[in-house]
Amino acid sequence: MNFTPIDNSGLVDGFCLIKNIDIKTSSKGDAYLDMTLSDSDGEINAKLWRYDKEKHGEYTVNQLIKIRGTVSRYNGADQLKIDRIRPVMPEDGVDPGKFVKSADYSGEQMFDELYKIASEFTDSDLKKIVTAILDDNRLALLYWPAAFKLHHAVRGGLLLHTLSIVRLAEGVCSVYPFVDRELLMSGAILHDIAKLSEFNVADTGVATGYSNEGNLLGHLAMGAMVIEKYAEKLSIDRKTAMLLEHMVLSHHGEPEFGAAVRPMFIEAELLSELDLMDSRVYEMREAVSAASSDDFSARVWAMDNRKLFNHSRKDLNNKINLF
C-alpha cells in the first residue's frame, strides 16, 4: 500500500479504496469495521475499533477514503489499525482512476474521438442526434463502466467498448461498401447509451448494482426511449429515428439474450455481431491472461462455461489499438 509514513512508529496516512467492508462485534461487545483497503500498490486488511456511526461516518464498498493509522504484523500479514477516517473530498484532488482498474485510454480521449467522428457525419439528422446525446451525457460517459460484472466492467469501460465497436465498424465498412457507414457508426455510438441509467455507479467508476430502471426496463428499451425523446425534441426524420431505435432494441441478437426483436437490416445485424465480438474477445482476454502459459483458464460462465487455452504466442498485455 502506498501510505505516507508519519513517524517511525508505523503511523501512516493516505488515500485508498474500500474493496470490502463489514460491521462486526468484538469480544467486548463493541462494534468495529473490518475492511479490505486497496490502492495501485496492493491491498491491506484494516480495522476501525469501537466504530461509532455518528462519530466516524458511514462507508460503503468502492468508496474512496482518507485514513490515518498504524501498520503492524498479524498472522504473518500487514494489518492497519485505523485512528482517523473520512471520505475523500473534491479538494483532495484524488484521481479515482489510480485506485480501480481502468480503460486503456482516458475518458476524455475516447469521448473526443467519438464526438469528432459524429460531428463529421454528412447526414444532418444523424449528426444532430448523436452529438446532442453525447453532449448531454459527457460527464458520466467519461468514467462509466460497460457492465456490472462482465465485459468492460472497468472505469471508462463504456467508452472503451463503444469506441472498439466503432473501429471494428470502420473496418467492416471498408470491406462492404454497400453498408450505410454513418448509420452503423451512429448505432454503435448509441447502442449502450442507456447503461448510464441501468447501473448505480460510484465516483470511482465501479458499478455497485442495477438501478430500479435497469432491473425493470433494461438498457435496450431505455436506449430506444432516449433516441425517441431526442428525435422528437430535435425534429429528426421519423424513419431515421426508427432505424436507430431498432438497432438499439436488437443489438443483443436473440430474445434469449435480451433482444426485443432480431436484427432486420444489414447495419443492425452488423452492430449485433460486432457487439458480441468485442464483448467476447474482452472476456476471453481477461480469462486467458489469468492462466499460465500452455494451460487452461478456469471455466468462464460468460463463454458458455468453457475453459480457454493460453497458447502464449502473443502478449495479452498489449493494449487495444484504438488510436
Instruction: Give 110-160 as a DSSP string.
Output: HHHHHHHHHHT-SSHHHHHHHHHHHHHTHHHHTT--S-SSSTT-SBTHHHH
- In order along the chain (323 residues), what is the average pLDDT of each group of 10 residues? 77 90 93 89 89 93 91 82 93 84 92 98 98 97 90 92 98 98 98 96 85 96 98 98 98 92 98 96 90 91 90 91 94
Give the pLDDT score at 148. 83
The Cα–Cα gap between 39 and 291 comes to: 24
CATH 1.10.3210 domain position(s) in the chain: 100-310
Domain 4-92 belongs in CATH node 3.90.1150.10? no
Q: What is the pLDDT of residues 252-291, one digit of tens each?
A: 999 988 899 999 999 999 999 999 999 999 999 988 988 8
Report the half-sphere exposure of 106 (CA within 13 A, side-chain side). Answer: 7
pLDDT of residue 116: 98
Q: Are 1 and 16 in contact (CB under 8 A)?
A: yes
pLDDT at 208: 83
Contact 33, 27 (CB under 8 A): no
User: Where in 130-280 does DSSP place strands (E)?
Assistant: 199-201, 207-210
Q: What is the pLDDT of residue 290?
A: 85
The Cα–Cα gap between 189 and 146 comes to 13
**Residue 300, by phi and psi: left (phi above 0), alpha (psi -120 to 50) or beta?**
beta
Cell digits of residue 31: 462494534
pLDDT at 130: 98
pLDDT at residue 137, rounded to an integer: 98
What is the reported pLDDT for 202?
Answer: 82
pLDDT of residue 172: 98
pLDDT at residue 1, rounded to an integer: 67
CATH topology for 100-310 is Hypothetical protein af1432 (1.10.3210)
Element (H, E) at 245: helix 238-250
In this predicted model, what pLDDT tens digit does every residue of 77-114 receive, in sequence order? 788 999 999 999 989 988 887 888 889 999 999 999 99
Predicted local distance difference test score (pLDDT) of residue 225: 98
Opening angle at CA 243, ends 139 and 224, nearest 5: 45
Give CATH 2.40.50.140 domain extents, the chain: 4-92
